[in-house]
Structure 1
């Protein structure tokens, strides 16, 4: 049974989430603010539902801290917020959230998204590492390296690289990448993909692997050492 940690300062919202999740077969943990959430981390939640607007440290700050820690960087996060503008959604996803739900929300849709994010976070491949052209991505520790040199990479770029490397030599449109990496329920413009591709290439320049990420005219992008 997967465990979902709900972090929201509104008890009524937590109750709605808890009821829907438990009906969906999940175990739940509840926290009203960031410090309380951190105290629950030893319970090893499989996913965090995180409200943006929290008293004290914001949900964005907590998400960034979770993604920076080796112990929690693999835990998927779904950001929950009344802020529904595209700029807000992109900011939440860039901080490390795997999905973004706008309040008010459907409890059934929330559970469906939790299931979808958990499926995406548990890749079908059984290999701990994937290597292409001398570039290695560790699917367990979420580290990227080449020839023993660590490559610092942001959470969104990591998810993008992971998808590319586990689907090598195939061309994907921007729309397909949005669906697979950002989630098909997160509405952001296709130009967002171009921004993160540029950032990913910049990160890969450190070891000279930026050319593995290829632009396919009229289609989108492909990751290949050929």
Structure 2
């Protein structure tokens, strides 16, 4: 048993129980709620992560997430949206609300567990010098200082290049479509073309030298940071 507590919020009671059982088998402490209304009655600050369905009753998952983000006490609790909806607009809405990940139904339980582990690993470190830096071999991202160094030499990146590299490195091995990257890096900026992402990634690859080959293109799917 580990110390992580997870709250699953989904109006499908069977799905709640399946997720609860499988996550508990991984050692997590798991509670469930079958509506946002019931979930909001709980002490949400007790949880390290919420798995939140989008399509529920009067209070949708998006609305509940928005309420949480406006409350200082719950604003930093990680959220993974689980939903049957998988359109570009829904993905962008979820990320703009501060979602840490987005899983579409139907999904494999193995995928859910891997995503849960990745989000908890990324968000649960206690603040210290190491937690504020992301390192891959000689590549170091100093998150508070917004600085990238390779073998102790600073690399001059634009704001967007920095954010793309940080996003991909935080999610090593996971493929993100151009739409995903737009949603996370450009947020709700209008008139940003897919080509803009390609140009930024091409420049980024050149600037980070040998590590540029770690930013892999998956044709037809998107980009990922792939460790050797």
Q: Normalised by the shorter chain, which TM-score bucket?
A: 0.5 to 0.7
1:1-226 counterparts in 2 under 5 A? 1-41=3-43, 44-123=46-125, 125-126=127-128, 164-165=143-144, 167-170=146-149, 171=157, 172=161, 176-180=165-169, 185=174, 187-189=176-178, 190-192=181-183, 195-196=186-187, 218-219=203-204
Q: 2: CA distance between counterparts of 1:123 and 1:42? A: 19
- Consecutive unaligned residues of structure 1, counting only runs of 5 or more, are 131-161, 200-214
Q: 2: CA distance between counterparts of 1:183 and 1:113? A: 11
Residues 179 and 165 from structure 1, CA distance in 2 versus in 1: closer, same or farther, beyond 3 angstroms?
same
Using the size of structure 2 for normalisation, the TM-score is 0.65
Q: 1: CA distance between counterparts of 2:146 and 2:163? A: 15
- Consecutive unaligned residues of structure 2, counting only runs of 5 or more, are 133-140, 150-156, 191-199, 208-228
Residues 166 and 32 from structure 1, CA distance in 2 versus in 1: closer, same or farther, beyond 3 angstroms?
farther
Q: 1: CA distance between counterparts of 2:95 and 2:172? A: 10
Write the deviation string for residues 167-218 of structure 1: whole angstroms up to 9, x where unpaired: 524544665344246776463314445523969xxxxxxxxxxxxxxx9992
Using the size of structure 1 for normalisation, the TM-score is 0.65
Q: 2: CA distance between counterparts of 1:76 and 1:101? A: 14
Question: What is the aligned residue count?
Answer: 176
Mapped contact 1:100–1:186 kept (Cα < 8 A): no
Residues 124 and 167 from structure 1, CA distance in 2 versus in 1: closer, same or farther, beyond 3 angstroms?
farther
